[in-house]
């Protein structure tokens, strides 16, 4: 545990490469470049390569990658660690960020000297910061270190919401920030309690130490509560719909696909690595119950939205609900959680939702660009104006609905399977009804988009290359449906 | 009552006050200030943890102090970001109101 | 790869490849004309490759194609009807715009419908079943009218409901067995020992019954069939509903007698058989009447399956396939015929009407037609109690319904007296009708084990004839007093469902208001505090 792996430096690279990009952007003028995106793309390629290298190393060696910062082993020093789940999520984040960046290039390509250049600079530098913070959340081992990572993530995400500078989006960003800050304070309070009780914040060390007493339970409850506020679990989704709907489409894609997954990932770590003993069933029921409420209520609300992006945002809240079902479905007596199909199903749901939702937001953005608005009632003609985008939207919708072949389908199958084994029939019913509701809100949009408009529309062309990025993301979500129906080894690598 | 207990209660009081303020206040600025109050309570809690760490034989545990300093920086950054957003919001609202006021007569005329 | 494996692959791959080629504009312009070619590999497979298997992907995926005897019967019939309907569509939809889009939905539906007959593993079956179910939506919605919109809504809503039931049923089935994608036969064999047998069977019957149009979930059929273009109605009613039949054939555990389940399915089927007739005779549109006839006929098929399940007779799968094949070709011919009659003038109508009459009464079991053979073969599992009597009486109901249909269809043509249908329509119609007779006679022995001597015995002929005579007598009554019958709207109980729409909308609005309340700042903050407390409390409880 104390020593770094031979390839452990890759973890540092995953954190540092985006930061190098960020620094490079602030000196573009000095090095003679006129646009920040010229810095962004080499960095994206490098980051993608690092994430790919981490994923293949973890998969090949079958062991977690570890890096002990400065050779100071925990509990005094900090460790970075990537197990199977982290490696998968790192790769997912890199792929989503890269494809979203390709799509965003046309939107944020203004010359530094122009007024729009400030927006372009803000977008690219925030994207880099966000990516680095996200990677830190995924590989961090120290609870305070993770707090800093989460804060950095929030600070990068909030300005992305209000890039267009309208009062409405500024308000959404402010609401997001303040609510997230309450969550952070609660998380930090829990961290203080844990430190006071055990004298360490290293997850690997805490795992051995924690006792089922009131202080530990209170601390973990505070931390999970704070994280739920940041993950926008129903009924704490107060900030998500206006923020995700107001941001520019590429920013929404990253926020919805990746940013809300980070706090969820930390909840998973707290739940399985810090909480002592077998997971508590009543608490799992609470989380799963909230997830179920999210699926049912927010899907219906999504169905009633008039704006495409708001609908997708509500769909995100509903889909986050599926993730929280996992805590109930991995509670099999005598079996480690990561060897249950509930674990595989939950993680696959997370990954396929990330790709599908990113594709959907990008597609919605381009449909809105082509038509000049995103009112669902007036989408007729979108199929003609941006056919590839509408197709990508449909493919991504397939995954959200859980229809074959798609990652969402396999995830739903595994979750249903786990619900059966756990005897949690109500969860099975909720998953099935949620699929129907998702089908309703996706087909509602597709049907309008495929209709012929009453009068010929004046549409703006959208570059095919940008549409293809959305399509690629959607195809990845579909391709995830080709994984076999059983617990994956990869997702259990490096679990104790 | 021992020192750590007293400090712990004070920290809890601060967190409680801050939480109440964040939830009950309508103005964003007051909410952000209340958040800082909450933060102060949390940092005090770390201080209590440092005193208890002294049980290990040291005069005090240095780690929580490092954490508190980092935490203060983060909270300061958050406050700065929030205040900046509020300023921009106020400006933009004023501009949008002015634009609406100047275009409204034109529409009617 | 063996020849049969190659053919199995081609069955699936040909329509899908044609969809893929539609990305090329040059091909997209011409694809509509080639629809009749796409199912031909399927036809060849049905003739040449019964018994063949092909492992598409090894473990852990284990995608397997295989063709057993019931699958071959249905595959052959379906390929034939797809081909005839494809040819028919060329003439029928000569001048329509949007034909390329129609062709893509058509090919996707075709791939799925042929696919369900040739796949042997659970995942592929679900995939193919979804493909045929969901793609048929495009066929229903082709004519973009308010009527089609309503039909499409109920079609897709019920199809997705059926998918959800099936998916959960499959999951229960798979969970009872080993991990991974299992062959259907293996999974079904574990059903006996499954702790969730009742739930699994309920969900499977619900899912497949929905596709077959068992009452009261039949409502999509009388809405969808009349609004689709004629060739699409033919394949919807003839082939797409058979996805439910092959589901029952493959997934019901016929190996062990399950008297309760069999009895329940039989009761549901027979009730549907009579219900379809009862509502059908109040309808005034020939295609709607045909749709109700399909409801009634599929009720009978479900009853046969129930009877087989009750006595634990695996031989009933052959009977089911044989009956379904008969219905497939006859119903297909009838739908195609409705279009032919509509463009045939009164002077030339007699031969068409004659063929239509034979086909229509074939559904009621007219001697010497495939219907008589199928009904004869299907009698055995019912034994000779009340169920057998009811099954026979349902033939009288069919005769009544079909005479009502013939009367309607004879009076619909608006064509000039000397006009005749184009060959492109008349030929597929005649070929399908002929195929129903030929296939019926040729496959009687192989599929059911009966001989010609059995079905041509005077007692058998009389048993086939009297329900028709009874139906004729009832028809005379209907024609006399039919006006007094209540006018039941298309889709009958769907009207009741639509009455609940304001309630559903109010529920939705209520949820939206709840969401708005929860998203108010103080309330969201309080929920956060409450959640933390609840979580701490729950964690402190003993696990």
Q: What single-letter DSSP state applies at residue A462? A: -
Residues of B with CB under 8 A from a CB of C: 19, 22-24, 26
Contact of A255 with A241, CB cutoff 8 Å: no
The predicted pLDDT at position B1 comes to: 64
CA distance linking residue A20 with residue B88, whole number of Å: 29
Residue appearing with tokens 């069919």: C398
Position A5 scores a pLDDT of: 85
Q: Which two three-digit tokens encode residue A436?
A: 């129907």
Which helix (H) or strand (E) segment holds residue B80: the answer is helix B63-108
CA distance B26 to chain C (A): 9
Instruction: Please judge whether A179 and C541 are an interchain contact, meaning their C-beta atoms are less than 8 angstroms apart.
Output: no
Half-sphere exposure of A482 (CA within 13 A, CB side): 7
Given a cut of 80, whether residue C241 has pLDDT beyond it is: yes
The three-class DSSP label of residue C53 is strand
Quote the minimal CA–CA distance from C523 to chain B in Å: 8
Q: Hey, are the CB atoms on A192 and B46 less than 8 Å from each other?
A: yes
Given a contact cutoff of 8 angstroms between Cβ atoms, the answer to whether C353 and C424 are in contact is no
Residue C312 is classified by DSSP as T
Cβ distance B67 to A195 less than 8 Å, yes or no, reads yes
d(CA C281, CA A401): 39
State the Cα–Cα distance between residues C84 and C98, nearest whole angstrom.
Answer: 21
- Asked if A178 and B28 come within 8 Å (Cβ–Cβ), the reply is yes
The mean pLDDT value for A106-113 works out to: 79
Model pLDDT for residues A261-304, shown as the tens digit of each residue: 999 999 999 999 998 877 788 999 999 999 999 999 999 999 99
Q: CB–CB of C522 and B23 under 8 A?
A: yes
Give the model confidence (pLDDT) of B68-89 as tens digits: 999 999 999 999 999 999 999 9
Q: What tokens were used for A396?
A: 């991504």
Q: How far is A164 from chain C, CA to nearest CA, in Å?
A: 24
Look at B81 and A177 and tell me if their CB atoms are within 8 Å: yes
What is the Cα C366 distance to its own chain's centre? 23
pLDDT tens profile A417-432: 889 888 889 999 999 9
Question: ipTM for the complex?
Answer: 0.92
Name the pLDDT band for B109 (thresholds 50, 70, 90).
very low
Query: How far C538 CA sits from the closest chain B CA (Å)?
Result: 22
Pairing assessment for the beta strands A65-68 and C53-57 based on DSSP bridges: unpaired
Which of A195, A320, A322, A220 is CA-nearest to residue A270?
A220
Distance from CA of C183 to the nearest CA of A (A): 13
Helix, strand or coil, per DSSP, at residue A82: strand
Of all residues in chain A, the percent with pLDDT exceeding 70 is 98
| Yes or no, beta carbons of C181 and A485 under 8 Å apart | yes
Burial C290-313 (b: 16+ CB within 10 A, else e): bbbbbbbbbbbbbbbbbbbbbbeb
The Cα A176–Cα C64 span in angstroms is: 51
Contact B24 C526 (CB under 8 A): no
Least CB–CB distance from A185: residue in B35, B64, B86: B35
> With bands split at pLDDT 50, 70 and 90, how would you rate the model's confidence at A487?
low
The answer to whether residue B55 scores a pLDDT higher than 70 is: no
Closest CA to A365 of A378, A353, A374: A374
With an 8 Å Cβ cutoff, are A238 and C518 in contact?
yes
What token pair was written down for B106?
């034109």
Element (H, E) at A99: helix A84-104
Q: Do B92 and A166 touch (CB under 8 A)?
A: yes
B42–chain A nearest CA distance, Å: 5
Per-residue pLDDT tens for C379-392?
Answer: 888 888 888 889 88
**CA A313, A314, A317, A318 torsion: positive or negative?**
negative
Q: Residue A1's pLDDT is what?
A: 47
Chain B contact set for C529 (CB, 8 A): 19, 23
End-to-end C-alpha distance for chain A, whole angstroms:
11
Query: Is residue A248 pLDDT above 70, yes or no?
Result: yes
Please state which CATH class domain B3-102 belongs to: mainly alpha
- Inter-chain residue contact B22 with C525, CB threshold 8 Å: yes
Domain segments of chain B as ranges: 3-102
> Rounded to a whole number, what is the distance in Å from the CA of A290 to chain C's nearest CA?
10
What is the reported pLDDT for A3?
Answer: 78
C partners (3+ CB pairs within 8 A) are A, B
Dig out the tokens for A407 from the structure: 């990652």
Specify the 3-state DSSP secondary structure of C64. Answer: strand
Q: How far is B59 from chain A (nearest CA, A)?
A: 15
C481 touches chain B (CB under 8 A): no
From A75, which residue of chain B is nearest by alpha-carbon distance? B63
Span C197-216, pLDDT tens digits: 888 999 999 999 999 988 88
Q: Which of C164, C172, C175 sits opposite A432 (nearest CB)?
A: C164
Tokens (6 digits) for A357: 């939702």
- Of the pLDDT bands very low, low, confident and very high (cuts 50, 70, 90), residue B56 is low
Q: Which residues does residue C65 pair with via DSSP β-bridges, in sequence order?
A: C54, C119
How many angstroms separate the CA atoms of A329 and A423, rounded?
A: 9
Look at residue B60 and tell me whether its pLDDT is greater than 80: no
- Span of A28-32, A301-305, C36-40, C93-97 with lowest mean pLDDT: A28-32
**How many residues would you count in chain A?**
496
Tell me whether residues A185 and B53 touch, CB distance under 8 A. Answer: no
* Cα dihedral across residues A212, A213, A214, A219: positive or negative: negative
Q: In whole numbers, what is the pLDDT of chain A averaged over residues?
A: 90
* Residue A407 CB contacts under 8 Å (≥ 6 apart), including other chains: A348, A351, A352, A355, A356, A399, A477, A478, A479, A480, A481, A483
* Subunit partners of chain B (3 or more CB pairs within 8 A): A, C
The alpha carbon of residue C150 is apart from the nearest alpha carbon of chain B, in Å, by: 42
What mean pLDDT is predicted for residues C436-464?
87
Cα–chain-centroid distance for residue C301? Answer: 11
Residues 6 or more apart whose Cβ sits within 8 Å of residue B51: B3, B4, B7, B60, B61
Determine, for residues A435 and C538 on separate chains, whether the beta-carbon distance falls below 8 Å: no
Domain ranges of chain A: 1-141, 142-277, 281-496
Q: In degrees to the nearest 10, what's the CA dihedral of C173, C175, C180, C185?
A: -30
CA distances from A448 to A369, A452, C103 (A): 17, 9, 21
**Which letter, b or e, does each residue of C44-63 get, where b requires 16 or more Cβ atoms within 10 Å of its Cβ?**
bbbeebbebbbbbeeeebbb
Chain B residue whose CA is closest to A171: B89
Residues of chain C with Cβ-Cβ distance to B24 below 8 Å are: 522
CA distance B30 to B23: 10
Nearest to A340 by CA among A484, A487, A483: A487
Which chain C residue lies closest to B23 (C-alpha atoms)? C522
Q: How many CA atoms lie within 13 A of A38 on its CB side?
A: 12
Q: Mind listing the pLDDT tens digit for each residue in C273-303?
A: 999 999 999 888 899 999 999 999 999 999 9
Least confident range of A131-145, B65-79, C106-120, C413-427:
C413-427
What is the pLDDT averaged over residues C309-327?
Answer: 91
Average pLDDT for B42-47:
91
Residues 6+ apart with CB under 8 A from C51: C4, C67, C68
Shortest Cα distance, chain B CAs vs residue A426, angstroms: 34
For B:47-66, CB contacts with A below 8 A are 48-49, 52-53, 56, 61, 63-64
* Residue A485 pLDDT: 63
Q: Rounded CA gap, A124 and A131, in Å?
A: 11
C522 to chain B: closest CA residue? B23
- Tokens of residue A389, six digits: 């985008």
| Inter-chain CB proximity C60 and A435 less than 8 Å | no
| Tokens at A409, concatenated | 């389908």
Which residue in the set A237, A482, A484 is minimally distant from C180, CB to CB? A484
A439 and C160 in contact by Cβ < 8 A?
yes
Cβ of C529 and B24 within 8 Å? no
Query: Residue C526: closest CA among chain B residues belongs to which residue?
Result: B23
pTM confidence score: 0.90
Q: Is the peptide bond before C135 cis (omega within 30 degrees of 0)?
A: no
Please spell the DSSP secondary structure of A110-171, one letter per residue. Answer: --TTSHHHHHHHHHHHHHHHHHHHHHHHHHB-BHHHHHHHHHHHHHHHHHHHTTT--HHHHH
Among the partner-chain residues A277, A297, A486, the one whose CB lies closest to the CB of C179 is: A486
- Chain C, nearest residue to B21 by Cα: C522
Q: Give the DSSP H/E element, type plus range, for residue A186.
A: helix A167-198
Q: What band does C177 get if pLDDT is binned at 50, 70 and 90?
A: confident
pLDDT level of residue A190 (50, 70, 90 thresholds)? very high
Give the pLDDT confidence of C346-381 residue by residue, as tens digits: 888 888 999 999 999 999 988 889 998 999 888 888
- 3-state per-residue secondary structure call for C363-383: HCCCCCCHHHHHHHHHCHHHC
- Asked if A151 and B22 come within 8 Å (Cβ–Cβ), the reply is no
Confidence (pLDDT) at C543 = 54
**B16 → chain C, closest CA residue:** C529
Query: Residue A455, SS3?
Result: coil
- CB spacing of B78 vs A165 below 8 angstroms: no
3-state secondary structure at position C283: coil
Rounded Cα–Cα distance for residues C451 and C273 (Å): 28
Distance of alpha carbon B87 from alpha carbon A381, whole angstroms: 41
Measured between beta carbons, the chain C residues lying within 8 angstroms of A297 are: 511, 514-515
The two structure tokens encoding residue C17? 């490849």
Mutate which: A179, A221, A281, vs C, most C CBs within 10 A = A221
Touching A (3+ Cβ pairs <8 A), the chains are B, C
Nearest Cα residue in chain B from A175? B28
> How do C63-66 and A65-68 pair as beta strands?
unpaired
Residue C464 phi, psi (nearest 5): -80, -30
Residues in chain B within 8 Å Cβ distance of C526 = 23
- Residue B21, chain A, CB below 8 Å: the answer is no
What is the domain partition of chain C in residue ranges? 3-496, 500-540
Rounded Cα–Cα distance for residues A295 and A333 (Å)? 27
Q: How far apart are CA A276 and CA A270, in angstroms?
A: 10
Reference B49, options B65, B38, B35; nearest CA is: B65
What pLDDT was estimated at residue C188? Answer: 87
Rounded Cα distance between C370 and C325, Å, is 9
Give chain B's length. 109
- The whole-number pLDDT of residue A354 equals 96
Question: Nearest Cα to C240, choosing from C436, C99, C106, C101?
Answer: C106
């Amino acid at each position: 545990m104390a020593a770094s792996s031979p390839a452990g430096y890759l973890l540092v690279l995953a954190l540092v490469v985006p930061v190098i990009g960020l620094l490079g952007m602030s000196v573009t003028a000095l090095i003679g470049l006129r646009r920040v995106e010229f810095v962004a793309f080499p960095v994206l390629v490098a980051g993608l390569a690092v994430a790919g290298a981490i994923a293949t190393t973890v998969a090949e060696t079958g062991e977690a990658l570890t890096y002990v910062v400065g050779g100071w082993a925990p509990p005094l020093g900090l460790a970075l660690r990537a197990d199977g789940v982290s490696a998968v999520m790192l790769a997912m984040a890199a792929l989503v960020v890269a494809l979203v960046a390709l799509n965003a290039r046309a939107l944020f390509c203004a010359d530094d000297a122009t007024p729009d250049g400030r927006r372009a600079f803000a977008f690219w530098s925030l994207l880099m910061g966000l990516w680095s913070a996200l990677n830190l959340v995924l590989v961090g081992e120290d609870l305070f270190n993770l707090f800093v990572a989460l804060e950095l993530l929030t600070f990068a995400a909030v300005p992305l919401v209000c890039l267009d500078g309208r009062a409405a989006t500024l308000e959404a960003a402010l609401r997001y920030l303040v609510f997230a800050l309450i969550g952070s304070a609660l998380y930090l309070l829990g961290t203080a309690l844990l430190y006071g009780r055990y004298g360490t914040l290293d997850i690997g060390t805490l795992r051995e130490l924690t006792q089922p007493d009131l202080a530990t339970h209170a601390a973990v409850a505070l931390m999970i509560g704070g994280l739920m506020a940041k993950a926008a679990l129903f009924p704490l989704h107060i900030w998500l719909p206006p923020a995700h709907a107001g941001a520019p489409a590429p920013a929404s894609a990253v926020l919805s696909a990746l940013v809300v997954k980070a706090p969820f990932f930390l909840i998973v770590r707290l739940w399985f690595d810090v909480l002592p003993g077998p997971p508590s069933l009543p608490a799992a029921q609470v989380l799963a119950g909230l997830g179920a409420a999210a699926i049912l209520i927010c899907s219906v609300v999504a169905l009633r939205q008039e704006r495409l992006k708001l609908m997708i945002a509500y769909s995100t809240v509903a889909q986050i609900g599926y993730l929280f079902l996992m805590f109930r479905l991995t509670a099999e007596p005598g079996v480690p959680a990561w060897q249950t199909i509930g674990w595989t199903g939950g993680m696959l749901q997370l990954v396929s939702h990330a790709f599908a939702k990113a594709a959907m937001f990008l597609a919605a953005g381009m449909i809105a660009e082509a038509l000049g608005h995103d009112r669902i009632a007036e989408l007729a003609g979108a199929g003609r104006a941006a056919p590839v985008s509408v197709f990508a939207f449909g493919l991504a919708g397939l995954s959200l609905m859980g229809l074959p072949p798609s990652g969402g389908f396999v995830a739903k199958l595994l979750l249903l399977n786990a619900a059966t084994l756990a005897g949690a029939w109500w969860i099975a019913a909720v998953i099935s009804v949620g699929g129907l509701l998702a089908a309703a809100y996706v087909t509602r949009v597709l049907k309008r988009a495929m209709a012929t408009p009453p009068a010929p529309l004046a549409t703006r062309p959208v570059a095919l290359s940008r549409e293809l990025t959305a399509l690629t993301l959607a195809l990845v979500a579909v391709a995830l449906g080709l994984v076999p129906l059983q617990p994956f080894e990869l997702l259990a690598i490096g679990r104790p | 009552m021992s020192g750590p207990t007293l400090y712990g209660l004070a920290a809890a009081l601060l967190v409680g006050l801050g939480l109440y303020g964040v939830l009950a206040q309508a103005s964003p600025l007051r909410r952000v200030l209340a958040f800082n109050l909450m933060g102060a309570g949390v940092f005090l809690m770390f201080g209590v943890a440092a005193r208890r760490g002294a049980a290990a034989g040291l005069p005090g545990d240095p780690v929580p102090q490092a954490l508190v300093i980092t935490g203060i920086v983060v909270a300061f950054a958050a406050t700065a970001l929030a205040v900046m957003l509020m300023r921009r919001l106020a400006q933009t609202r004023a501009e949008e109101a002015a634009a609406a006021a100047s275009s409204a007569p034109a529409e009617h005329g | 790869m063996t020849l049969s494996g190659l053919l199995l692959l081609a069955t699936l791959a040909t329509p899908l490849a044609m969809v893929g080629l539609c990305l090329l504009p040059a091909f997209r312009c011409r694809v509509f004309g080639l629809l009749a070619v796409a199912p031909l590999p399927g036809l060849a497979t049905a003739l040449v490759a019964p018994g063949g298997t092909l492992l598409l992907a090894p473990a852990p995926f284990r995608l397997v194609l295989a063709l057993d005897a019931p699958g071959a019967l249905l595959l052959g019939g379906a390929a034939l009807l797809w081909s005839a309907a494809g040819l028919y569509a060329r003439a029928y939809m000569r001048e329509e715009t949007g034909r390329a889009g129609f062709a893509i939905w058509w090919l996707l539906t075709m791939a799925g419908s042929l696919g369900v007959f040739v796949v042997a593993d659970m995942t592929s079956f679900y995939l193919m079943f979804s493909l045929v179910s969901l793609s048929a939506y495009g066929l229903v919605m082709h004519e973009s009218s308010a009527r089609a919109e309503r039909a499409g809504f109920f079609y897709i809503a019920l199809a997705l409901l059926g998918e959800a039931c099936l998916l959960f049923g499959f999951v229960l089935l798979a969970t009872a067995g080993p991990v991974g994608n299992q062959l259907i036969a293996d999974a079904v064999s574990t059903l006996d020992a499954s702790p969730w047998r009742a739930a699994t069977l309920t969900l499977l019957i619900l899912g497949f019954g929905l596709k077959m149009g068992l009452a009261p979930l039949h409502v999509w059929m009388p809405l969808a069939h009349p609004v689709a273009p004629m060739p699409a109605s033919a394949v919807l009613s003839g082939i797409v509903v058979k996805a439910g039949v092959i589901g029952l054939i493959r997934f019901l555990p016929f190996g062990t007698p399950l008297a309760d389940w069999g009895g329940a399915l039989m009761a549901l089927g027979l009730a549907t058989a009579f219900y379809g007739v009862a509502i059908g005779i109040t309808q005034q549109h020939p295609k709607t009447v045909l749709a109700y006839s399909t409801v009634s006929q599929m009720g009978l098929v479900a009853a046969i399956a129930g009877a087989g399940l009750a006595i634990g007779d695996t031989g009933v799968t052959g009977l089911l396939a044989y009956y379904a094949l008969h219905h497939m070709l006859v119903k297909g011919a009838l739908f195609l015929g409705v279009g032919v009659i509509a463009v045939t003038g009164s002077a030339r109508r007699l031969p068409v009407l004659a063929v239509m009459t034979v086909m229509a009464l074939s559904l009621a079991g007219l001697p010497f037609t495939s219907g008589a053979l199928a009904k004869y073969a299907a009698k055995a599992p019912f034994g000779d109690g009340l169920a057998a009597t009811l099954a026979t009486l349902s033939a009288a109901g069919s005769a009544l319904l079909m005479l009502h249909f013939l009367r309607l269809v004879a009076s619909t043509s608006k064509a000039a007296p000397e006009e005749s249908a184009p060959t492109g329509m008349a030929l597929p119609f005649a070929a399908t009708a002929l195929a129903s007779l030929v296939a019926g006679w040729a496959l009687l022995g192989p599929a059911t084990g009966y001989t010609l001597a059995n079905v041509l015995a005077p007692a058998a002929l009389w048993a086939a004839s009297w329900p028709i005579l009874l139906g004729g007598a009832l028809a005379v009554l209907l024609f006399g007093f039919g006006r007094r019958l209540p006018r039941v709207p298309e889709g009958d109980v769907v009207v009741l469902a639509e009455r609940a729409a304001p309630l559903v909308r109010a529920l939705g609005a209520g949820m939206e208001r709840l969401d708005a309340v929860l998203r108010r700042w103080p309330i969201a903050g309080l929920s956060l505090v409450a959640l933390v407390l609840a979580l701490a409390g729950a964690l402190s409880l003993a696990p």
